[in-house]
Each structure stands twice: as C-alpha cells, then as structure tokens.
C-alpha cells in the first residue's frame, strides 16, 4: 500500500510543514465513498491502462486534446466493487488503473498508447517505480480487436527499438469490469498538490522515466500549470 513512497512523502512533507508551520494532510480521509461501477462505453472511445500509481497515471492524460475524462479505479480482478484497502493487499487481482474516455475524431488510440509507454518502465515486473506489488504492474487492457492489435504492434515496436536490454513485461489483456476508486483519489494532483509532488518525487518516477526514455511527457500544459503552481 505505497509503504515506501508514503514514508518518503511524509519525510518531505514534514520538512515543508516545519517551514510553513502546518501539518501535512493525511493520505486517507476517514470518509472514502466510492461511486458506483462504471458502465461499459463504446469500444472506440475508451482506453484502459494500468501504470502503477493511478494518481500519476491520471495526471498523464488529464487535459490532453481529445481526452474527455480520466477516472482512477480498479480492474482486472475478481471482487465486485473492491476498495482501495482490498486492492492494496494484492489478493483481489485488481490493478490500480485509469479509464480514459476520448474523442477519436480529435485524438487516436495510437497516441494514447504512445503516452502510456513513455510513462511506464515496461521492464519492471514487480510493480512500477517504488510501488511494489501485483496491483502496480503495467498493463494495457484492450477494448476490442482493433485495440488489441494496436497494443501488440506498439509493444513489438518497443521491443524492436533496441532501447531496452531487459524483456518488455507489460501485459496486454482484454478489458473487464472497471470500478472507479474512492472520491478522494480522483484528481488527487488537484486536491493536494503538495502531497502529490512529494509522493511523485519521492517515488523516483520522473527520474526513472528520464533515464529510460530520455524525455518527459508526463503532463498536458493545463495539468502542468496546476502541479507546478504557475
């Protein structure tokens, strides 16, 4: 359950709070209501990805041209309507994931796939970055044959590029039921920007992405304005 990054984030936040004279906010509020399970959308307008921490995955796609909405949640498991705590045990089979509704007239699934690959470490088999556990592994959940083929082609291109010495372990599997996460997880980068920054930096996400890809495309301009406080 993010034990390592929470510890790092807590340390960073305590330093910030000491200067500001304010205590850092708790990660999990007492109330953690969840929306109802999300109904299926048309295959041509939905993309579902697991990229490690869904806070960071959500911020990657929010505000992009053609992206209508991004929802953090859980998919790939067996329990109906699981909670964050249940998924964090690694026993339900779910992944922290995001559901993207997009306009195919404005953006393409291929573009979303490109953003996905450049915001994960596709060689990491035990999670993503500092988040370890099966619920944090990277997965492309395809909706229909066209998305499946596009995902397989994109993975083959990454493998053929010669960029990685280790095997590409990102899975490509059929999408199943998607359950939105608790309200406090949605748009977390907006709700608690300081804690989001501390977590993301402490987890080493961007440092690793720069190391393996040589560039960062983690935020749209509108999201970057929020998280960087411009």
Tokens of 69: 């909405």
**Residue corresponding to tokens 């890809």:** 213
Query: In what helix (H) or strand (E) does residue 132 lie, and over which residues does it extend?
Result: strand 131-132
Residue 78 CB neighbour total at 10 angstroms: 11
Contacts of 227 (CB under 8 A, 6+ apart): 59, 189, 193, 196, 197, 219
Q: Which of 53, 56, 130, 203 is catalytic?
A: 53
Give the count of alpha carbons within 13 A of 37, CB side only.
Answer: 11
According to DSSP, the residues that pair with 180 across neighbouring strands are: 73
Known catalytic residue: 203? no
Tokens of 55: 């806070």
Catalytic residues: 53
């Amino acid at each position: 359950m993010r034990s390592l990054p929470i510890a790092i984030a807590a340390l960073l936040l305590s330093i910030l709070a000491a200067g500001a004279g304010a205590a850092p906010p708790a990660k999990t509020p007492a109330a953690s209501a969840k929306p109802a399970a999300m109904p299926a959308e048309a295959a041509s307008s939905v993309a579902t990805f697991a990229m490690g921490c869904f806070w960071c995955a959500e911020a990657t796609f929010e505000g992009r041209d053609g992206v209508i909405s991004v929802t953090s949640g859980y998919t790939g498991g067996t329990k109906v309507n699981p909670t964050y705590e249940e998924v964090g045990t690694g026993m339900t089979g779910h992944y922290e994931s995001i559901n993207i509704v997009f306009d195919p007239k404005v953006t393409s699934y291929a573009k979303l796939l490109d953003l996905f690959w450049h915001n994960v470490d596709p060689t990491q088999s035990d999670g993503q970055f500092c988040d370890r556990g099966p619920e944090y592994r990277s997965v492309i959940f395809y909706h229909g044959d066209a998305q499946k083929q596009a995902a397989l082609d994109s993975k083959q291109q990454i493998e053929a590029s010669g960029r990685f010495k280790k095997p590409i372990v990102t899975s490509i599997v059929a999408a199943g039921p998607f359950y939105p996460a608790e309200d406090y997880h949605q748009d977390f980068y907006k709700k608690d920007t300081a804690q989001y920054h501390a977590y993301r930096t402490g987890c080493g996400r961007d440092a690793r992405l720069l190391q393996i890809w040589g560039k960062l495309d983690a935020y749209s301009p509108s999201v970057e304005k929020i998280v960087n406080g411009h």
